[in-house]
Amino acid sequence: MSNDAALKEPFESLDRQRLSAALGMWIFLASEVLFFGGMFLGMTIYRQIHPDAIMEAARETNVLFGSINTALLLISSVTMVLADKAAEKGLKSAVLAFLAATAALGLCFLVLKGFEYREDIHEHLVPGPDFKLHTPAAQLFFGFYWIMTGVHAVHLTIAIVAVSTYFVRIWRGGFPFEGSAALPVLGLYWHLVDIIWIFLYPLLYLGGRT
């Protein structure tokens, strides 16, 4: 019965509806890849033009925060996938537990990122007149550092809000989570946010460590 509740206009079968939702999300993700791609292009070019200055700046980020955060996001992707799998089998309490864990891991990431930002500000790593490093091009790296991590954090915040919303709706009952395309699609978005961080990690934290 719950499957019929998930079916919406203009679709006539649940399979088509789920395929559409997944396809729509994948197209949007392709769009997101190009959105972040523009910033990766900028960094690639500047790194090629000013290799020494960029590496000098890359050494200044806190690799401990970066690595822990990477681990948190990778684990959150696992819990997200488990929530989706549990939903397919209709295991409500497991879905709720995994969604809660996913949102919590995402929140931990943001909190740690906040601490890291505080430290960065404290160390004068914000581009401007009293920037820590004296090579002008080093500021280019931190220009991108702030905007890339900031935009990523915005994406993650949206994902956390969405996960929490679905948590509440499933918890209250009446939400046909077994047949709904919502959870798998939300999972796709969550994993993309994870993948972007997977590439930000070597770009921002691993350069110039040797």
Task: Find the binder of another protein among 61, 96, 99, 127 (CB under 8 A).
Answer: 127
**Residue number, 8 or 168, with CB nearest to another protein:** 8
Residue 112's closest CA among 67, 58, 69, 75? 69
Q: Is 65 in the site for another protein (CB under 8 A)?
A: no
The DSSP output letter for 192 is H
> How many residues line the site for another protein (CB under 8 A)?
79
Residue 74 half-sphere exposure toward CB, CA atoms < 13 A: 9
Residue from 99, 155, 167, 187 touching another protein (CB under 8 A): that is: 187
Q: Where are the alpha helices (DSSP H) in the chain?
A: 2-6, 14-49, 51-58, 63-88, 92-122, 138-172, 182-205
- Shortest gap between Cβ of 51 and another protein (angstroms)? 10
- Site map for another protein, 142-171, x if CB under 8 A? xxx-xx---x--------------------
From CA 109, how far away is CA 103, in angstroms rounded?
A: 10
Under the criterion CB under 8 A, does residue 106 sit at the interface with another protein?
no
Q: Does 46 bind another protein (CB under 8 A)?
A: yes
Which of 75/110 has CB closer to another protein?
A: 75
- Our finding on whether 136 is near another protein (CB under 8 A) is yes
End-to-end CA separation in angstroms for the chain:
60
Among the candidate windows 101-109, 114-122, 155-163, 198-206, which touches another protein by CB under 8 A? 198-206
**How is 20-38 classified by DSSP, letter by letter?**
HHHHHHHHHHHHHHHHHHH
Q: Dihedral angle at the C-alpha atoms of 42, 32, 30, 12, nearest 10 degrees?
A: -170
Rule CB under 8 A: is residue 30 a binding residue for another protein? yes
